[in-house]
């Protein structure tokens, strides 16, 4: 049986994992993003660790034919999924297999399969939890007296994605605090004296900031008063100009997030943080 290519503007994407499925979701979405005119309908099946669980998955796969990606440690479960996909003529791939083979060719020896091994409760896991706790407690200008304990401090006017970027960094083990720049509200007195953290300014185009703020007000069913400058373009431009001057005066890097995703902004910050750490070590 040969499965024909989908003619619709969507396709079914089956993600079968014996762990959380996060790896598959990230891989599937990264690949799907290369096809702008075709949208995936995701079917995620986490914690598939028995034949009985797999059979329920196979019923769904047969009812909604599409691409099947999987990460399964158990050979029998993996073999059953493969054979059924072949019977149905469906494309299927163990996304970790090519990577594991590459590691094996370089490192030698046989790998030791572990279900959900990347989620082990090891030191790096607890580092991420610690970073997440720190970041939540230091969100939106809270607890500014101990910013020296942060790894990264983000500064920016309202709606420059400070909080989601901080949370993303925390999931990478980075203790991130963020400080809003608000007109006529003084900055924490210690902000320009910080030595350990990397301080990064976030800006965007005035048009983008105004658009996001207007959408936020609509979402909150809020009405802006005549005296408010929250969505006034000239006022927003001045807020952003102040941000730029502040960062330039202190030699802090500035990132324009207008056309960047949270992931792209965080990747840029992580690169800057690596350079910052190397310089700090060299100076000690």
> Which residues are known binding-site members?
156-163
Is residue 68 packed enough to be buried (19+ CB in 10 Å), middle (13-18) or exposed (0-12)? buried
Residue 16 φ/ψ, nearest 5 degrees:
-115, 120
Tokens representing residue 114 in the block: 């572990």
How far out from the chain centre does Cα 13 lie?
A: 21
Tokens representing residue 173 in the block: 């083990």
Q: Tell me the C-alpha distance between 10 and 166, whole Å.
A: 33
Pairing of strands 152-156, 66-71: unpaired
User: 191 Cβ partners below 8 Å, 6+ apart?
Assistant: 144, 147, 153, 155, 179, 199
Residue with the two structure tokens 């030595």? 195
Binding-site residue numbers for ADP are 156-163
Question: In sequence order, what DSSP letters do the residues of 139-153 get, joined into one string?
Answer: GGG-SGGGGGG-SEE
209 contacts 157 by C-beta, under 8 angstroms: yes
**Diameter of the chain by CA atoms?**
71
Residue with the two structure tokens 């790896």? 23
How far out from the chain centre does Cα 136 lie?
A: 16
């Amino acid at each position: 049986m040969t499965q024909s290519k989908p003619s619709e503007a969507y396709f079914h994407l089956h993600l079968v994992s014996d762990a959380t499925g996060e790896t598959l979701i990230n891989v599937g979405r990264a690949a799907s993003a290369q096809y702008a005119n075709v949208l995936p309908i995701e079917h995620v099946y986490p914690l598939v660790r028995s034949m009985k669980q797999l059979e329920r998955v196979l019923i769904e796969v047969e009812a909604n034919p599409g691409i099947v990606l999987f990460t399964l440690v158990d050979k029998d479960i993996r073999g059953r999924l493969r054979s059924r996909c072949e019977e149905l003529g469906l494309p299927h791939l163990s996304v970790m297999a090519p990577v594991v083979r590459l590691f094996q060719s370089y490192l030698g020896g046989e790998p030791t399969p572990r279900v959900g091994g990347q989620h082990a409760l090891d030191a790096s896991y607890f580092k991420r939890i610690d970073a997440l706790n720190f970041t939540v407690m230091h969100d939106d200008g809270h607890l500014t007296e101990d910013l020296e304990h942060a790894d990264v401090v983000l500064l920016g006017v309202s709606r420059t994605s400070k909080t989601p970027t901080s949370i993303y960094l925390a999931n990478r083990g980075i203790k991130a605090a963020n400080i809003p720049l608000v007109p006529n509200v003084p900055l924490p007195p210690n902000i320009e004296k910080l030595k350990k953290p990397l301080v990064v300014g976030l800006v965007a185009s005035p048009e983008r900031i105004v658009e996001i703020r207007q959408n936020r007000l609509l979402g909150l069913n809020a009405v802006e008063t005549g005296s408010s400058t929250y969505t006034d373009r000239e006022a927003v431009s001045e807020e952003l100009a102040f941000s730029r001057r502040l960062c330039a005066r202190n030699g802090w890097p500035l990132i324009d997030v207008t056309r960047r995703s949270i992931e792209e902004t965080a990747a840029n910050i992580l690169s800057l943080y690596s350079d910052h750490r190397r310089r700090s070590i060299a100076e000690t």
